[in-house]
Amino acid sequence: MIMGLTAFSTLVWVCLALTACAPLILLGLWLKDFLSKQLW
């Protein structure tokens, strides 16, 4: 059973979008911890 173009493209684009969101999430959490002095 061969994976079609639509499934292949969707898989790659969804994963790329999720990965691109990660730095924003991490920086947002860092800022929250930093402002509340909870980093360490």
Partner 1 sequence: MNEVSGFALSSSLGLTLVVLFGIVWIAFGWYLGRANKTHEDFALAGRNVGFALAAATAMATWVTSNTTLVAPQLTYQFGVWGMVGYSFAALGLILFAPLAARIKRLMPNGYTSGDFIRLRYGRAAWWVFIIISVVYAFGWLVSLGMAGGILLEALSGLDYHIGMSAILLICVGYTLFGGLRAVIATDFIQALIIIVGVVLIAWFLIDTVSLESIHQEVKSNHPQLLDLLFPAAIMFLFNNIFFGLGEIFHSNVWWSRALAFKGKVAFKAYLLGGLLWLPIPIVTGFIALAAPQLGIFPPSADMVGPMVAAEVLGKIGAVVVFIVVFSALASSLDSLLAATSDLVTRDIYHKYLKPQASDQHLLRFNRYSILGLGIVTWLFCLPQIATLGALLNFAGAFVASTIFPVVLGLYQRKLTGTYAAAAMALGTLSGLVGYFTIGFYVAALLSCIVSAALCGFGLLTSQARFDWQQLNEKEEPTS
**Residue ranges in contact with partner 1 by CB under 8 A:** 1-3, 5, 8-9, 11-16, 18-20, 22-23, 25-27, 29-30, 32-34, 38-40
Task: Give min distance, CB of 13 to partner 1, in A.
Answer: 8
SS3 5: helix
Task: Give min distance, CB of 24 to partner 1, in A.
Answer: 10
What lies within 8 Å, CB to CB, of 30 at 6+ separation is 39
Task: Give min distance, CB of 37 to partner 1, in A.
Answer: 9
